[in-house]
Amino acid sequence: MHYIEVGKENTATIDLHYQDYGTGKPVVLLHGWPLSEASWDAQIPVLLSSGYRVIAYGRRGFGESSKPAEGYNYDTFAEDLHKVITKLDLKDITLVGFSMGTGEVARYISTYGSERIERAVFIAGILPALVKAENNPDGTEKRIFDDMIRKCIEDRPGFMHKFLEDFYSHGIVGRKAVSDEMIRYSWTLAMQASGMATVKCIDSWGEDFRDDIRKIDIPSLVIHGSGDKITPLNVCGRRLKDMLPGCEYLEIDGGPHGLLASHAEEVNAALVKFLSLAPKRPYSQSEMRH
């Protein structure tokens, strides 16, 4: 078992459980809510066979990582990522975020810069701003997230079963289905998280990442499904693409939120292709707009 200490809470250390496989340029995988690093099972073997070193870790509160009461905000998540990167002394990194993990990618680059980061990948992301506000009229109503919090507190196991059906667009005619076993497996991963982490992370989705995105100065890939019921395409994927001039973009027709499992072949092919592209010099977004 591999752990990296990222802090302390009272007398206990806060440790992130991680897996570190292979050799080559490092690819760091940041999982989505409410799962863990185990949700990258379909991607890790393909990345390894393509010659990359793969590091996947559990966010605080999830999987086999420590489950403190505090720290469920994007500044802390980015700080945790920074400690993983520096303690493993990683360089020439590709950061790959899925769902809420995309916020960590953006906040990390915004806060710590891209000196160690070569590329960034955003899959089914929550960027640029998920919650509806006066300056974000296309977002999702906050009451939706408040209702999620209420249901998690009242009956987290029951809520998660229904949420994961939406996560994979399960049972929708004409959509590529995952098995019932995949939903049960995802439910098991979700139940490994602490109740506090599960609820507090929902609040973190209110973060507005538009200023962070403007500081991204490295080649990027955006992947989003047109059938995403959790982070809708028009609210997230297409808007993020427009904010990252020059990015690679893949829109998966009918793809649900849970693309890592439902459309693993398409996601994996896009990842490997993007990683194989010749490195570009860092660019500023102002340059790309002219």
pLDDT given at position 290:
36
pLDDT given at position 289:
42
Tokens of 8: 């302390």
Rounded Cα gap, residues 123 and 236, in angstroms: 10
Marked catalytic residue, from 36, 66, 99, 220: 99
Give residue limits of the domains in the chain.
2-279
Q: If DSSP codes are grouped into helix, strand and coil, which group holds residue 28?
A: strand
Tokens of 250: 């893949």
Tokens of 191: 């139940």
* H helix or E strand, kind and range, residue 265: helix 264-276
Pick 2-279's CATH classification: 3.30.420.10, 3.40.30.10, 3.40.50.300, 3.40.50.1820: 3.40.50.1820
Active site residue 257: yes
Active site residue 228: yes
Tokens of 31: 């999982």
Contact status, residue 53 vs residue 27, Cβ threshold 8 Å? yes
Beta strands 53-57 and 12-21: pairing type? antiparallel
pLDDT given at position 288:
44
Rounded Cα gap, residues 259 and 197, in angstroms: 23
Beta strands 93-98 and 53-57: pairing type? unpaired
Active site residue 242: no
Marked catalytic residue, from 31, 224, 257, 263: 257
What Rg do the C-alpha atoms of the chain give, in angstroms?
18
Rounded Cα gap, residues 142 and 134, in angstroms: 12
Contact status, residue 19 vs residue 2, Cβ threshold 8 Å? yes
**Largest distance between two CA atoms of the chain:** 54
Tokens of 194: 């602490």
Positions of the chain with pLDDT under 50: 286-290
The amino acid present at 80, given as its one-letter code, is D
pLDDT given at position 194:
97
Marked catalytic residue, from 15, 212, 217, 228: 228
Cis peptide before 157 (omega within 30 of 0): no
Instruction: Give residue for tokens 């599960």.
Output: 198
Condensed to tens digits (0 to 9), the pLDDT of residues 188-227 reads: 999 999 999 999 999 999 999 999 999 999 999 999 999 9
pLDDT given at position 279:
67
